[in-house]
Amino acid sequence: MLTDRVHRVRIAHLPTPIDYLPRLSALLGGPRLYIKRDDQTGLATGGNKTRKLEFLIADALGHGADTVITGGAPQSNHCRQTAAAAARHGLRAVLVLKGEAPKPPHVGNILLDELLGAELRWSGDMPRDEALQAAFEAEQQSGHKPYLIPYGGSNEVGATGYVAAIEELQSQLRSGYLPICHFDAIVFASSSGGTQAGLSVGAKALGIQSRILGISVDKHADVLSELVADLANRTAERLGLNVRLSAGDIEVNDNYLGGGYAVVGAPEREAIRLVAQTEGLLLDPVYTGRAMAGLLDLIRKGEFSKGQHVLFWHTGGTAALSGFSEVL
């Protein structure tokens, strides 16, 4: 195993299943579409951050922490999963959420954060990194031993979860779990970079030739590809892997940024409804809805051929759907 040399706690329900999407594939008339169900990792409705948290929580415990601190948008899936992982391991969770506290009733991930026992702090006008650092220092001054988890869990510790994930995918393909042994492309939402960095490192180390395509939900391609490459190289170094990647090795498509982060438009609405009504699967409004909208458009433009096999990696987030009911 590529990740055997680093500590890990077992949280996720793994391996996550891979489903074929026959009705959506037929409707689009393009490649055969499959979906990797990381919405079923099992931690407080699941999601991709659970894989990262197996390594982040292990690192926090190794450092003797009694509190984990992280931050995100009000409907952050990462924050919800961090709160759940902390509760499972007897740690306090402090979540620094962007902006001002919304008026009750609370819905979506905010409700779940509260149920999971997290302490919610709101950053107001303070820049996110300053707000996180202020929370960290306040916890230290109060006598706690805090451990800071970056936005999205995306550092070299968290990205290790997706090195392990692509190794899991390779094992599934080699076992005969599916009637195919290779995906021509793996498509997913990319934002803080940890998922794409881990997948890229793992694919390079294992010699996997699949196209690794991140659909950006909030950053321009040149910025995100640099971020991912840097994170990938730090992850590979941590794992002792002889892998180096440049920004040119990282494929990011930023044509689907729409109105900006968490701004739901017509493409996201169409993708969420189409997948729900053809396959009975739920996507989220911020990440997988936007990434699927990008994939649908690429298929309609002939980017993928009819004989190809394409895997859409579902990174979770459906707990946030009720928080976007007015725009959906």
Per-residue pLDDT tens digits for 25-77: 999 999 999 999 999 999 999 999 999 999 999 999 999 999 999 999 999 99
CATH class of 18-47+155-324: alpha beta
Phi-psi region of 299 (alpha: psi -120 to 50; beta: other; left: phi over 0): alpha
User: Does 76 participate in catalysis according to the annotation?
Assistant: yes
Active-site annotation holder among 76, 123, 190, 225: 76
Q: Where in the chain is the domain with CATH 3.40.50.1100?
A: 18-47+155-324, 49-153
Tokens of 324: 């976007």
pLDDT confidence of residue 40: 98
The whole-angstrom separation of Cα 32 and Cα 23 is 10
How many CA atoms lie less than 13 Å away from 52 in the CB half-sphere?
Answer: 29
pLDDT confidence of residue 178: 95
For residues 256-261, give the mean pLDDT: 96
Predicted confidence (pLDDT) per residue in 118-150, tens digit: 999 999 999 989 999 999 999 999 999 999 999
Strand intervals (E) in 73-197 = 92-97, 119-122, 146-148, 185-190
The confidence band for 13, taking pLDDT boundaries of 50, 70 and 90, is very high
- Say if CB 107 and CB 323 are below 8 A apart: yes
Say how far residue 35 (Cα) sits from the centre of its chain.
Answer: 14
Residue 78 is classified by DSSP as: H
CATH number of 49-153: 3.40.50.1100
pLDDT confidence of residue 60: 98
For residues 166-177, give the mean pLDDT: 96
The confidence band for 290, taking pLDDT boundaries of 50, 70 and 90, is very high
For residues 177-194, give the mean pLDDT: 97
Q: Please state, for a pLDDT cut of 90, what percent of the chain lies above it.
A: 100
Predicted confidence (pLDDT) per residue in 298-310, tens digit: 999 999 999 999 9
pLDDT confidence of residue 243: 96
Residues with Cβ within 8 Å of 130's Cβ and at least 6 positions away in sequence, in order, are none
Other C-beta atoms lying within 10 Å of the C-beta of residue 202? 30
The confidence band for 83, taking pLDDT boundaries of 50, 70 and 90, is very high
pLDDT confidence of residue 145: 98
DSSP element (H, E) containing 85: helix 77-88
pLDDT confidence of residue 291: 98
pLDDT confidence of residue 42: 96
Q: Please state, for a pLDDT cut of 70, what percent of the chain lies above it.
A: 100
Strand intervals (E) in 149-283 = 185-190, 211-216, 251-253
